[in-house]
Amino acid sequence: MSEKIPAKIRLRSIVDKVYQNAWDAKERGEPVGWSSSKFPAEIAEALGLAVCYPENQAAAISAKHGGQRMCEHAEALGYDNDICGYARISMAYAAGFEAEEKAMPQPDFLLCCNNICNCMTKWYENIARMHDIPLVMIDVPYNNTVEVGDDYVQYIRGQFDDAIKQLEEISGRKMNEKKFEEVCANSNRTAKAWLKVCSYLQYKPSPFAGFDLFNHMAVVVTARCKLESALAFEALAEELQENVKNNHSTWKYEEKHRIMFEGIPCWPQLQPLFKPLKENGMNTTAVVYAPAFGFAYSNLDELMKAYCKAPNSVCLETGVDWREGICRENKVDGILVHYNRSCKPWSGYMPEMERRFRKDLGVPVVSFDGDQADPRNFSEAQYNTRVEGLYEVMEEYKAKKEAK
């Protein structure tokens, strides 16, 4: 039997390749783009344009402890420390402050889609000014209803068509229908495989540590239109199937409790975040990225709708529904909410969501203050106390249940 490369390694190399591809393009004198994570990646991919992802870069820099340094550079440029940490890191990098933690070529054009937040609009405008480069803007207004109306679809479609024209000009190539369809098919296949991977969290005990999803997400963000991503996620799903069969898991500890981790993790503090969870046997079996990145569509109108369904662009009810859905499926018995100082749109729904989770799911909910990128907004002591508190209440609930 030939040695199989573990899916984890394959996934990591896909992300590396995305950035290598951008460096190579730069070297050949081809334009390189920077894109927000939920810009319709299908267009640039079909036109063969090299693209990097500032959010992914900022997360990587933060995880390697460069977040505070870059944030401080941004502050010295006049950006308030109140602004999203990803934006601060990215604007500092664009302004010329280096980050060996995760270098990427400077942009020649920008792809901005503000479905996740309006901060994106202004962040990308700032970078476009610094480099005097074109900005392709797809605006997805916030939606107050569960359904996405035709008005949204038409409006986004109009911008989508304009974006294609702009990018044809930037790339010097014409959009090839067949290529576009192929890319869309890959994107759907990746989404499906991603959801399949996520669905393994429903097994009890889980065949993997849910925190792994935060790492794999990089692939969904940077390479969802590539066939190899779909293949790697499919391979991962097979491994997980094996794990279920053999009672294996990448969660190396007892699985006493299963929780949802709400929000983006504090990248600078991954170790401290993980520590009390593993010590108390609390596996994360639900993260909202699962449903939020599972884009599937079968025609262009549905594609427009899919891009309307991002975290922070959907109404409260949809947001609650996504989360409660995975909490139920994945048999969660407690919820840990990250009040992420960086992300105003996200954290702004959390108090109401907490109430709904408690009422609808009957599980304890505990929150802590932190930040996805700026380490100054996290207190390990507070976090540990809160996790401890959650653990205790979950134990209590469990004892009560068992006594019944």
Partner 1 sequence: MSNIQTLLSAFDAIAKNPKKQLDDYISQGKKAIGCFPYYVPEELVYASGMVPFGVWGKTGGKINLAKEYFAAFYCTIAQLNLEMGLDGTLDGLSGVIAPSICDTLRPFTQNFRVACPDIPFMFLAHPQNRKKEYGVKFTEQQYNKIKIKLEEISGIKITNDNLNEAIKIYNENRKARRRFIELAGQYPHIITATSRSVVLKSAFFMLKDEHTKMLNELNGLIEASPIEPWKGKKVVTSGIVLDSPSLLKIFDDNQLAIVADDMAHESRAIRVDVQENTNHPMQALAEQFGNQDYDTLLYDPELNKRPGYLVEKVKKSQADGVVIMIMQFCDPEEIEFPSLKKGLEEAGIPYIKIGMDQQMTNFGQAQTSLQAFADVLSTL
Binding residues for ligand SF4 (CB under 6 A): 84, 86-87, 116-117, 119-120, 312, 342-343, 345-346, 372
Structure tokens at 296: 């599937």
Cβ neighbours around 268 below 10 Å, total? 26
Residues 33 and 222 sit within 8 Å (Cβ to Cβ): no
In the set 192, 331, 344, 398, which binds partner 1 (CB under 8 A)?
344
Determine if 78 is a binding residue for partner 1 (CB under 8 A): yes
Percent of the chain that is helix, strand, coil (3-state, to 5): 60, 10, 30
Amino acid identity, position 388: E
Nearer to ligand SF4, 13 or 121 (CB): 121
Residues 40 and 55 sit within 8 Å (Cβ to Cβ): no
- Whose structure tokens read 């108090």? 351
CB of 346 to ligand SF4, least distance (A): 6
CB of 332 to partner 1, least distance (A): 23
DSSP symbols for 190-239: HHHHHHHHHHGGGSSS-SS-TTHHHHHHHHHHHHTTSHHHHHHHHHHHHH
Nearer to ligand SF4, 33 or 265 (CB): 265
| Candidate segments 3-11, 80-88, 178-186, 265-273, binder of partner 1 by CB under 8 A | 80-88
| Candidate segments 38-46, 55-63, 126-134, 211-219, binder of partner 1 by CB under 8 A | 126-134
Q: Which residues contact 300 (CB under 8 A, 6 or more apart)?
A: 157, 160
CB of 142 to ligand SF4, least distance (A): 12
CB of 112 to partner 1, least distance (A): 9
Q: Among partner 1, ligand SF4, none, what does residue 351 contact (CB within 5–8 Å per kind)?
A: partner 1
Nearer to ligand SF4, 332 or 343 (CB): 343
How many Cα atoms within 13 Å fall on the side-chain side of residue 324?
Answer: 17
Footprint of partner 1 (CB under 8 A): 77-80, 82-84, 87, 114, 117-119, 121-123, 125-126, 128-129, 135, 137-139, 141-144, 151-152, 154-155, 157-159, 162, 312-313, 315-316, 339, 341, 344-345, 347-352
